[in-house]
Chain A
Amino acid sequence: NAGVTQTPKFQVLKTGQSMTLQCAQDMNHEYMSWYRQDPGMGLRLIHYSVGAGITDQGEVPNGYNVSRSTTEDFPLRLLSAAPSQTSVYFCASSSQGARNTIYFGEGSWLTVV
């Protein structure tokens, strides 16, 4: 988990509220991504970025927005939280994608009530 920092670690939201999960890395990695982990389903890719100013959708992008204005930061925004977005969220980064080690943050536990 070296160098990938996620905040907050725990958050409870009410349905309809918006919030941003922060992700920062200090390794000058080009690639960053967000995953969600749900019981029995492993981790699924939400959005990813191959560099500043470039983002793309993953497997489950609906209800989430991202932007990559700097190399270091890759925030994930929930526009109008729904109970289905209750999950554990992981941010990841790497220097050459899968050609190098992919590091994960410690996770953010989000509950939407």
Chain B
Amino acid sequence: AQKVTQAQTEISVVEKEDVTLDCVYETRDTTYYLFWYKQPPSGELVFLIRRNSFDEQNEISGRYSWNFQKSTSSFNFTITASQVVDSAVYFCALSEEADKLIFGTGTRLQVFP
């Protein structure tokens, strides 16, 4: 069965700290896709990244980076030098088919000045 676990319910950091959000997934398929979305206080869902199961390369986009490890079924997200604007709920999601996403329960990140 598909499942996404985000064990960290809430994380608080001070600005400029690095923070890693954990995501562990379960799937029986060899072909699948992993996503991260950001939900700021305004409520919309902002797409951050999509990764397919055949591409284990880590990715960096500015202060954001992602570590995909199939051996541990993890797709962790790191924010370097966090800023107050990073405060949001972050969701990890898994898809095996179509656009059917299985979401984790989210991690609320609070960045204090």
Residues of chain A touching chain B, judged by Cβ–Cβ distance below 8 Å, are: 1, 31-33, 35, 40-45, 48, 50, 58, 88, 90, 92-94, 97-104, 106-107, 109
Contact = CB atoms under 8 A, between A and B. Distances in A.
Given A97-B95, A98-B97, A42 B103 contact: yes
Contacts of B44: 1, 104, 106-107
A43 B91 CA distance: 9
Sort A-B residue pairs by CB-CB distance and give the 9 closest, nearest first.
A98-B95, A42-B103, A98-B33, A104-B45, A31-B99, A97-B98, A97-B99, A43-B103, A42-B105
A92 B46 CA distance: 12
Contacts of A41: 105
Given A99-B33, A102-B35, A43 B47 contact: no
Interface in B21-73: 32-33, 35, 37, 43-47, 50, 52
Dominant secondary structure at the A interface: strand
Contacts of A43: 91, 93, 101, 103
Interface residues of B, number: 26
A45 B2 CA distance: 13
B99 A92 contact: yes
Contact of B104 (A42, A48, A90): A42
B106 A42 contact: yes
A102 B99 contact: yes
Given A42-B91, A99-B33, A88 B43 contact: yes
A48 B98 contact: yes
Given A92-B101, A98-B99, 12 more contacts: A33-B98, A33-B101, A41-B105, A42-B104, A45-B100, A48-B99, A93-B99, A97-B98, A97-B100, A98-B35, A106-B43, A107-B43
A50 B98 CA distance: 7
A97 B97 CA distance: 7
A45 B45 CA distance: 15
29 contacts: A1-B44, A1-B46, A33-B100, A35-B101, A42-B4, A42-B91, A42-B104, A42-B105, A43-B101, A45-B102, A58-B100, A88-B43, A90-B45, A97-B98, A97-B99, A98-B35, A98-B50, A98-B96, A98-B101, A99-B33, A101-B47, A101-B50, A102-B95, A102-B99, A102-B101, A103-B47, A104-B44, A106-B44, A109-B43
